[in-house]
């Protein structure tokens, strides 16, 4: 399983959104400025990363955004 840092997500496409820049990081989520590819609008996109201590079995219950 590949894990990317918060900064490494910039430039990637998640669903219909291209991540443009990191806005901020809290205890539970990370907020990015992202451009919707179809509507050509800019939105705030909040991601909720899984804790590092989750086992591979526990991670199967959550959809992965990136390979």
**2-40: per-residue pLDDT in tens?**
566 677 889 999 889 999 999 999 888 899 999 999 998
Contact (CB, 8 A) for 52 and 62: no
Residue 44: domain span: 16-59
pLDDT score recorded for residue 66: 44
pTM: 0.70
* Residue 34 in domain: yes
Where would I find the H helices in the chain? 56-59
Question: What CA–CA distance (Å, rounded) separates 36 from 31?
Answer: 15
pLDDT score recorded for residue 67: 40
* Residue 41 in domain: yes
* Residue showing tokens 């609008």: 41
Name the residue among 21, 15, 9 with its Cα closest to residue 49: 9
* Residue 2 in domain: no
As for how many domains the chain has, the answer is 1
* Residue 45 in domain: yes
* Residue 39 in domain: yes
* Residue 53 in domain: yes
- Position with higher pLDDT, 37 vs 61: 37
């Amino acid at each position: 399983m590949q894990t990317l840092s918060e900064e490494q997500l910039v430039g990637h496409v998640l669903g219909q959104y291209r991540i443009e820049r990191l806005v901020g990081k809290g205890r539970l989520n990370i907020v990015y400025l992202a451009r919707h590819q179809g509507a050509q609008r800019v939105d705030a996109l909040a991601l909720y990363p899984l804790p590092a201590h989750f086992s591979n079995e526990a991670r199967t219950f959550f959809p992965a955004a990136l390979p």
